[in-house]
Homo-oligomer: A and B are copies of this chain.
Amino acid sequence: MNITIYDIAQKCNVSIATVSRVLNGSSRVSEKTRARVLQTMKDMGYNPNPFARGLGLDSMKIIGVLCTDVADIFYAHAVSLIEDALRTHHFDVMLSNTGNDNGRSSKYITELTAKHVDAIIIIGTPFSTEGDIRQLRKTAESIPVITINSDYHQPNMYSVVCNEKEGMRQVVHALAAQKCQSILYLYDALTYSGRHKLDGFRQGLRDQGLRDQTERIRQVPKSLEGAEAAIDKVIAKKISFDAIIASEDVLAVGAQRAALRHGRYVPVVGCNNSILAQCATPTISSLDNKLRSLCTAAVDIIIELMAGKDVPIRTEFNAELIDRESFKR
């Protein structure tokens, strides 16, 4: 069995209360006994039992982190950043991967709350159905819920987002400045982020007085093959284009490859600024959604909430276009 405060107390000829006080620093303990207790704690290799502590405080300093797929390079990066930031505040991360079984995502939330995590960070948009969102709202009643790149507008939920709509608008402007008139737009899903990017794209077209053509906006599976097939199809249909924007780097890579295969050398812009964009030849420009800022902001919100401070219900960052080879014509 493990060492408990009883063992320490006995060894030091004090009560468990004193040991507990030393443990929590706060209350006044004489310097002499404090030193003695701390020493024997080290000697005996004591560490507090989190279950017992959690039972009383109903907190185990664990944050639930929820996303659709940690294997995805974007989410993985986010999880990594969040974990690092939380660690500095002595919080642990309980990971929950919803996968894509939409409509039943609420069960992951339920499981997480059943574990009594102190707060939940949600990356992306795993929840979309009415039932899921109802469950989410209910969860938010008991613990803070921080969302990254989505916004459910519910009480006790805090949203951290990147203004990708505006970013995408500027991408269109930048392409237009290079005389691109017929921009192909590939996207995989209309999540919060996906919708805003598409909106920004359309807004950009309008700004430039360009027509918003449905045939140049195409939904594709989130994979290299999905994007390649889409480009093949567009070319087969003789739909003209002089630039490609993709809502995900992986799509941009696939699209560029297919275009080059057909001898079409056009500017390609992806999103998320992941390493995939740099692996392609030519390297692909990408709209950076400031993941690091988003993640540290999310963690900061949790820390401040725990400290009883007032925090903004919405925090917004700017996107930034990272210019690479593929951007030139």
Which residues of chain A have a CB within 8 Å of any CB of chain B? 47-52, 54-55, 58, 60, 62, 65, 69-73, 75-77, 79-81, 83-84, 87, 92-97, 99, 111, 114-116, 224, 250, 253, 257, 260, 275-276, 278-281
Contact = CB atoms under 8 A, between A and B. Distances in A.
B79 A224 contact: no
19 contacts: A50-B54, A50-B114, A51-B52, A51-B60, A69-B80, A70-B70, A70-B79, A70-B80, A71-B77, A71-B79, A73-B275, A87-B97, A93-B95, A93-B96, A95-B95, A250-B275, A275-B276, A279-B279, A280-B280
CB-based closest 6 A-B pairs: A76-B76, A71-B80, A51-B54, A279-B279, A51-B55, A70-B80
A116 B73 contact: no
A77 B58 CA distance: 33
Contacts of A96: 83, 92-93
A66 to B, nearest CB: 11
B70 A99 contact: no
**Secondary structure call for the A interface:** helix
Contact of A116 (B49, B76, B275): B49
A250 B71 CA distance: 16
A275 B51 contact: no
Nearest to A45: B138
Contact of A281 (B50, B116, B250, B280): B280
Contacts of A93: 94-96
B76 A70 contact: yes
Nearest to A116: B50
A325 B273 CA distance: 26
B76 A115 contact: no
Nearest to A260: B281
A224 B97 contact: no
A83 B97 contact: yes
A84 B97 contact: yes
Contacts of A278: 224
A70 B260 CA distance: 33
Contact of A94 (B62, B114, B257): B62
A36 to B, nearest CB: 22
Of listed A51, A54, A275, residue having the most chain B CB within 10 A: A51
Contacts of A253: 279
Nearest to A282: B281
A83 B94 CA distance: 10
B115 A92 contact: yes
A47 B81 contact: no
Given A71-B77, A260-B281, 17 more contacts: A49-B116, A50-B114, A50-B116, A51-B51, A51-B60, A52-B55, A55-B55, A65-B95, A70-B70, A70-B79, A71-B79, A84-B99, A93-B96, A94-B94, A224-B278, A250-B279, A279-B280
